[in-house]
Amino acid sequence: MERPQELLLQSAARAQARGEFASWSLILTAHESGCAEVDAEDAPEIGRELGRRGVTLQIAHALHATEHRVWGIVNDAGILRDRAPRTWIAFGDGSIDAARATLIADTIDKLAHTPSVEALDASVVPFASSHTVGELRAWLNRMRARLEPEEVEAEADRAVETRRVDISHNGDGTSWLNALLPTHVAIAVGHRLRRAAKQLPKVDPDTGEIDCRTRDQRQADLVGHWLTSCTGTETDVRAEIAISIDAADLIGLTEGPGITRDGEHAVPARWVRELAESETTLFRRLVLDPVGRVLDTTSLGYQPPDALRAALHWRDGTCRVAGCRAPAAETDLDHALAHDRGGTTSAGNLRCLCRKHHNMKSHDRLPEKFIAPAVEHRERWRLPSPVVVELDLWPAA
């Protein structure tokens, strides 16, 4: 039973979303009617184009907003109204808000084929209305990669061509070092940094001094050390990352993307196949049932075996508390029914909870309704596959 306060908050959120929809609708209508008047004028094309820009300026002035913001709303509203009617209706009744509508419109704008847009419009509303903006963004990325793998791979190849390193100096003795890298390389860098920072000794063995640096400071120092003391010109991905991919995609029969363990990123199948050729790659086969659930296994002890732990990390991706994006690899495996009360060490009774939420649950401060159920499959629209291959790229010994 939901509390009255929660119902009031939900009602307020829906009312706010309906207000955003009304604003978008008015802006779109005003822009279209204003442009229609301009287009009806007997003027050269350059004059009409400047007149349409004037319409945008007038609306922006009335709203005390920028022209860029007004044009963004006009563009997104037009996309949803004309190409995604289900999503537009859901926006109108308050099921989704402007932030989610913007993400969906942006994804539709990137889709190249009408059937892809129709498939997205048919499936996005239930997910968007029940998940956070961050979760929706990741879902849309995966959905687009599944619907149009060739287009997404071509886009990724073009993006990689822009990779670079930028250095900007702050003038206070610090500088920013920014690197634009392929996603799988950046993930590997992040995992290696976090692991290396954790492994640093808390007490200097030579001086006996306690290391008081924060985690961020340790990672920054490690980057500086690696870049100033190492040599080599080839990228060798050896940090532990996990990418799940259907077996048919891995061997090239189909071109569906690989998905990083946290579910956030889709990686082109060709890139995954290239990674799979590395001698440091370890393959793990996760056997699934017909609807994509990891088949249950049970351990008699309290601690799950490594194989079950890896399967649960793949299944959950992140902390299971709704909206929490803590990576599964950095979470605790919590027994839903406590082990000392008869709870089994099995996939059906274990879930990934970050340390904060695990502690809240242990002290009865985390209602069960805030813990999302296990995802049966990454997406219901994916064809059932009996085998998913997970690639772990491990650090060199």
Output the pLDDT for position 256: 67
pLDDT at 207 over 80: yes
Percent of the chain residues past pLDDT 70, beyond the cut: 78
Output the pLDDT for position 388: 43
Indicate the pLDDT class of residue 76, thresholds 50, 70 and 90.
very high
Mean pLDDT throughout 309-332? Answer: 84
Output the pLDDT for position 204: 83
**255 neighbors 150 (Cβ within 8 angstroms):** yes
pLDDT at 246 over 80: no
pLDDT at 125 over 80: yes
Output the pLDDT for position 377: 45
Report which residue type is found at 78: G
Q: What is the number of other CB atoms lying within 10 angstroms of the CB of residue 215?
A: 12
Domain 298-370: CATH architecture, name and number where available: Orthogonal Bundle (1.10)
Write down the domain spans for the chain.
Answer: 4-130, 164-229, 298-370
Look up residue 164 and give its two tokens.
Answer: 């670079």
The pLDDT tens digits for 137-195 are 989 998 998 899 899 989 988 999 999 999 999 988 899 999 999 887 888 888 888 88
CA distances from 207 to 202, 204, 218, 220 (A): 12, 6, 18, 22
Output the pLDDT for position 63: 92
Nearest to 133 by CA among 183, 176, 98, 161: 98
What is the longest distance spanned by two Cα atoms in the chain?
84
How far apart CA 237 and CA 311 sit, in angstroms, is 22
> Between 258 and 328, where is the model more confident?
328
The pLDDT tens digits for 222-231 are 998 888 886 6
Output the pLDDT for position 394: 47
pLDDT at 129 over 70: yes
